[in-house]
């Protein structure tokens, strides 16, 4: 294919992806995945960084999974270093969906502890999907550093990632349940409960864990005072 043809294909897709109606952008992304062309990859990655509509972003990711990993994975790894938070988050999400082992090189401590919560959550999910065999325990240790932090949705995401690591996460969770502050203890215990019974549900698990920690840490009343 000539350079002029490649440039034209890229330009046409880029123009379609900036159409005003989200439905038109969705159709453009669908078409790019249905009839993949390596020259579409750059336009798809670029749009992931700025696309405001969730469903269009999801279709952009699907479209990228339809292209050769030899082209998409290196470009997405590069995108995880972007200064744009959405670009980092969407690139990590797409790498997790592609599932190519080379994507693991994108997972850095900086991304796992990113100040942008959406990026961090995407990094946790991608790390669990891409971690090499034998690396699960170390990944669990790194993720456990975030126990007890953030709002409900952030804690739920972290628990899900640790649950997906299964038994490899149990030693670090047990340690956090003993040594952490009350927030860390409760989050660790709730996650242990979910590993033991995934059907329990996060809200129930965290409620019961907080209740247990509160009772465990309640001050003991001396026997003499208790009788008064």
Q: Is the pLDDT of residue 104 over 80?
A: yes
Which pair of structure tokens corresponds to residue 168? Answer: 């490899």
Quote the pLDDT of residue 32.
96
pTM above 0.75, yes or no: yes
Write the DSSP assignment of the chain as a string of letters: --HHHHHHHHHHHHHHTT-SSHHHHHHHHHHHHHS--GGGHHHHHHHHTT---HHHHHHHHHHHHTS-HHHHHHHHHHHTT-S-HHHHHHHHHHHHHH--GGGGGG--HHHHT-SSHHHHHHHHHHHHHHPPTT-HHHHHHHHHTTTT-S-HHHHHHHHHHHHHHGGGGHHHHHHHHHHS-HHHHHHHHHHHHHHH-TTS-HHHHHHHHHHHHHHHTSPPPPHHHHT-
Mean pLDDT of the chain: 92
- Read off the pLDDT of each residue in 177-188 and give the average, rounded to a whole number: 93
pLDDT class for 222, splitting at 50, 70, 90?
Answer: low
pLDDT class for 10, splitting at 50, 70, 90?
Answer: confident
Taking alpha carbons only, the member of 15, 23, 88 closest to residue 59 is: 23
Domain ranges within the chain, ordered by starting residue: 134-228
Q: Is the pLDDT of residue 228 over 50?
A: no
What is the C-alpha end-to-end distance of the chain, expressed in Å? 92
Q: Is the pLDDT of residue 226 over 60?
A: no
Quote the pLDDT of residue 8.
74
- Please report the sign of the dihedral spanned by the C-alpha atoms of residue 136, residue 86, residue 146, residue 213: negative
Q: Is the pLDDT of residue 206 over 50?
A: yes
- Read off the pLDDT of each residue in 30-40 and give the average, rounded to a whole number: 95
Q: Per residue in 127-160, pLDDT tens?
A: 999 999 999 999 999 999 999 999 999 999 999 9
pLDDT > 90: percent of the chain: 85
- Read off the pLDDT of each residue in 109-113 and give the average, rounded to a whole number: 96
Q: Is the pLDDT of residue 37 over 70?
A: yes
Which of 25-29, 59-63, 191-195, 216-220 is predicted least confidently? 216-220
The C-alpha atoms of residue 129 and residue 27 are separated, in whole angstroms, by 28
Q: Is the pLDDT of residue 99 over 50?
A: yes
Q: Is the pLDDT of residue 7 over 90?
A: no
CB 157 within 8 A of CB 124: yes
Quote the pLDDT of residue 113.
96
Tell which wins on pLDDT, 216 or 80.
Answer: 80
């Amino acid at each position: 294919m000539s350079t002029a043809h490649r440039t034209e294909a890229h330009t046409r897709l880029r123009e379609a992806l900036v159409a005003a109606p989200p439905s038109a952008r969705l159709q453009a992304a669908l078409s790019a995945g249905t009839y993949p062309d390596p020259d579409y990859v750059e336009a798809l990655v670029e749009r992931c960084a700025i696309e405001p509509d969730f469903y269009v972003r999801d279709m952009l990711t699907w479209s990228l999974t339809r292209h050769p990993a030899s082209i998409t994975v290196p470009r997405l790894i590069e995108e995880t270093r972007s200064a744009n938070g959405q670009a980092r988050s969407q690139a990590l999400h797409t790498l997790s969906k592609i599932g190519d082992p080379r994507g693991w090189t994108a997972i850095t401590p900086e991304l796992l502890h990113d100040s942008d919560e959406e990026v961090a959550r995407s990094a946790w999910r991608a790390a669990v999907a891409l971690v090499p065999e034998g690396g699960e325990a170390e990944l669990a240790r790194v993720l456990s550093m975030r126990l007890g932090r953030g709002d409900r949705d952030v804690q739920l995401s972290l628990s899900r990632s640790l649950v997906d690591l299964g038994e490899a996460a149990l030693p670090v969770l047990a340690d956090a349940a003993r040594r952490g502050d009350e927030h860390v203890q409760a989050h660790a215990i709730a996650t242990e409960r979910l590993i033991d019974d995934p059907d329990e549900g996060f809200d129930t698990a965290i409620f019961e864990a907080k209740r247990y920690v509160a009772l465990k840490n309640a001050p003991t009343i001396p026997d003499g005072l208790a009788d008064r």
